[in-house]
Structure 1
């Protein structure tokens, strides 16, 4: 998603639209995996707290994106804004790939 986001506004309208469509699609596909990892970073007692913190941090990220848009995009244009957002998505996604290890699950018996 991050690479696709950096391509938006850098070339023709068709490539920008395709990049945007790919970025949005992969964002929603990625959400499935991020949401399923909630059990790996929490337990039954604090799953609501951890999920709430994740949602709150997401809203903070949205506010930061708006501020970047207000101050950078207004002066430099949309292309730089999309590049910055794509780079930030890549940077903040790497800790999950590097540090989060899945818990082993017990094999369940059939019905």
Structure 2
């Protein structure tokens, strides 16, 4: 089993740099977004890191940005992809940027 994991890990790390850069019209998505139980980092070069605690378990995703579909975005490689449902695209609430992803309101904590 270990012999299988090492090549798979190498392939995933190699492909992590294959993300599509965030298009200019979606630049507001770039940044570090958080709330108590969820963390999302989207970089300009198309790298995405996500972590969520729900019902006592943790879900994590790290990978390249594949595409935007309207407000939603897809992360992963080939058939191994996850779609993040954005019910409210990034918006200013006073002086604070917010976005609703997978039903959670996130606040941008860093660009």
TM-score by length of 1: 0.33
Query: Which has a greater percent of helix?
Result: 1
Point out the structure with max Rg over C-alpha. 1
TM-score by length of 2: 0.33
